[in-house]
Structure 1
Amino acid sequence: MGKLETKRLLLLEYNLEWIQATIAGVDELERVSGYEVSRDWPGIDFFFYLPYVLENVKKEPEMTKWTHLIVLKEENKIIGEIGGQGKPEETGEIELGYSIVPGYQNQGYVSEALMELLAWLQVQPEIKRIFARSFETNTHSIQVLKKAGFVYQPDQDKVESRGRIVLWEYPMNQGVS
């Protein structure tokens, strides 16, 4: 797949070389990718998740097609990531997650990226279910999910030490407008 594009964004497949470069530091990712990288990216949660991603991608290189870096075209800059986890090829399911660095939040970038990714996911034959989880206190993320057409699944709530996590499911039969 490689690249998806919207009016303002590029969604670029987060390949093995770029994952390794990110772990080495954003300067290395800039060198390898040719894009400027926001100094606030990756956020701490995503950064600590990267070694796990790297090991999985080394075992199954095709997994990179599910995760993308978000590039703001007008600045040629990586400002976040969006993608899925799980093994859709085996389960038919993908759990989506996303993040935009603070300086670029509340400008519609996540919604724009999510709508493009959803349109692409719906034509992937292995995808039968798309869902996302959010802390119930993360009103911005919940707003993005609602806007994209996700439906809250109240019977799927879980409580963790950091708060209640709520599940949102994307109705696969609705299509993306």
Structure 2
Amino acid sequence: MIEILTNRLMIVPCSLDIAKSLVFHRKELDKRSPIEIPKSWPSSYVRGFLPFYIESLEKKEKESECGLWMIIMYEDKKIIGDILMQGNPSKEGKIHLCYHVEDKTLDETIAYEAVDAFIDWLTYQMSVKKVVMECEMNETHSIRLFEKLGFICKEKEGQFLMWEIQKDE
């Protein structure tokens, strides 16, 4: 299994078993998991994505290899969020990501650490050259994070901002 490790975090893909347990056996998963799973995780966006994710993992589609990743606070053994890849990188090396951190009061450096490590992994392991992420105009945490990571706001559509970063080869 792939693991992306930082000083404080472990970022791992969500397995088929965990995805199914989140949907069908949440109470049992909460009891048996050695890692604490917050009641509010996964986010509503990810919950809506889980049936598609489960189906694609069951079919062993290539696209599912990198879909949903869990961000785990290593020392606390607690899931604190997720990163969602929307498909595999395009032929040009472009990928769309979204992230969610459970507790907005967590140190902002945690989200930075997770997303930065994940983008580094994508750049070196999957030849990603451009990462695209979106947020709403009122999401100041995300805007600060994207700016800190070096993303540039490329487009505004209504209340949504599209950010991208170009990675050097």
TM exceeding 0.5:
yes
Distance change (3 Å), C-alpha of 1:26 and 1:106: farther
SS class of match (1:123): helix
Ranges in structure 2 where 5+ consecutive residues have no aligned partner: none
Corresponding position: 1:50 with 2:45: no
Give deviations 1:19-75, integer Å, cap 9, x for gaps. Answer: 111112444444675322122211222212211222233331562334310111121
Deviation at 1:165, TM superposition (A): 0.9
Amino acid at match of 2:156: D
SS class of match (1:37): coil
Match in the other structure for 2:2: 2
Match in the other structure for 2:167: 172
How far apart, CA to CA, are the structure 1 residues paired with 2:90 and 2:66?
11
SS class of match (2:160): strand
How far apart, CA to CA, are the structure 1 residues paired with 2:65 and 2:32?
16
Match in the other structure for 1:114: 115
Match in the other structure for 2:156: 157
Ranges in structure 1 where 5+ consecutive residues have no aligned partner: none
Length-normalised TM-score, structure 2: 0.85
Match in the other structure for 2:68: 67
Deviation at 1:134, TM superposition (A): 0.8
Length-normalised TM-score, structure 1: 0.82
Amino acid at match of 1:158: E
Please provide the CA RMSD for this pair.
Answer: 2.4
- Percent sequence identity is 27
Q: How many equivalent residue pairs? A: 168
